[in-house]
């Protein structure tokens, strides 16, 4: 199944908290659900839970990065 990379705008404090939770083996539920909703808004159907892969290193705009497995768009 294809993966869709989702970029979520964030602030530095939240991004650090999400990264710390991930490194501790936990999940930031709010951002994970936001990633799932972003997939739906793009017209795709999630096939699994979003997987946190990191944060961008922007000076001003920090983003959370998630990979979401989606169903392929093959039709009949």
Kindly report the pTM of this predicted structure: 0.89
Contact of 65 with 9, CB cutoff 8 Å: no
Structure tokens at 22: 């991930």
Cα–chain-centroid distance for residue 54?
A: 9
DSSP-derived secondary structure letter, 75: -
* Helix, strand counts (H, E) of the chain: 2, 3
- The owner of tokens 């392929």 is 72
User: Is residue 60 over pLDDT 60?
Assistant: yes
User: Is residue 63 over pLDDT 70?
Assistant: yes
Query: Percent of the chain having pLDDT more than 90?
Result: 86
Distance CA 46, CA 13 (A): 28
User: Is residue 75 over pLDDT 60?
Assistant: no
So where are the chain's domains?
Answer: 3-69
């Amino acid at each position: 199944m294809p993966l869709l990379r989702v970029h979520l705008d964030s602030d530095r404090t939240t991004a650090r908290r999400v990264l710390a939770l991930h490194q501790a083996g936990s999940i930031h539920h709010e951002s994970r659900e936001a990633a799932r909703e972003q997939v739906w808004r793009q017209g795709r159907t999630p096939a699994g839970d979003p997987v946190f892969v990191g944060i961008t290193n922007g000076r001003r705009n920090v983003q959370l990065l998630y990979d979401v497995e989606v169903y392929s768009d093959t039709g009949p």
